[in-house]
Amino acid sequence: MNAETLTFKSGELAAVSIGGEDGSGTLIKSNSQIKKILAFPFVANDQTVTDEDIEGTMKIEYINFGESRITIADTSKVNLSVSDQQRANREALLIREALSKNDSTLTPSFQFIRPVAGIVTSPYGKQRYINGQKRSVHLALDMNGKTGDPIIAPLKGRVVLVGDFFYTGNTLILSHGEGLYTSYAHMDEINAELGKIIQQGKQIGTVGATGRVTGPHLHWTVYFNGNKINPEWLIEEDFLKTLLK
Ligand SMILES: [Zn+2]
Q: Which pLDDT value is given to residue 139?
A: 97
Q: How far is the CA of 141 from the centre of ligand 1 (A)?
A: 6
Query: Looking at the domain assignment, is residue 1 inside a domain?
Result: no
Q: How far is the CA of 12 from the centre of ligand 1 (A)?
A: 18
Query: Looking at the domain assignment, is residue 107 inside a domain?
Result: yes
Query: Looking at the domain assignment, is residue 118 inside a domain?
Result: yes
Q: Which of 26, 46, 61 is the last residue of a domain?
A: 61
Q: How far is the CA of 75 from the centre of ligand 1 (A)?
A: 18
Which residues sit opposite 169 in a β-bridge? 165
CATH number, domain of 98, equals 2.70.70.10
Surrounding residues of ion ligand 1, Cβ less than 5 A:
140, 142, 219
91: enclosing H helix or E strand: helix 82-98
Model pTM?
A: 0.94
Q: How far is the CA of 142 from the centre of ligand 1 (A)?
A: 5
Q: What is the pLDDT of residues 218-238, one digit of tens each?
A: 999 999 999 999 999 999 989
Q: What is the pLDDT of residues 157-193, one digit of tens each?
A: 999 999 999 999 999 999 999 999 999 999 999 999 9
Q: How far is CA 122 from CA 119, 150, 190, 220, in A?
A: 9, 19, 23, 11
Domain that holds residue 19: 6-61
Coil, helix or strand at residue 199: coil
Q: How far is the CA of 130 from the centre of ligand 1 (A)?
A: 12
Q: How far is the CA of 210 from the centre of ligand 1 (A)?
A: 12
Pair (184, 82) in one structural domain? yes
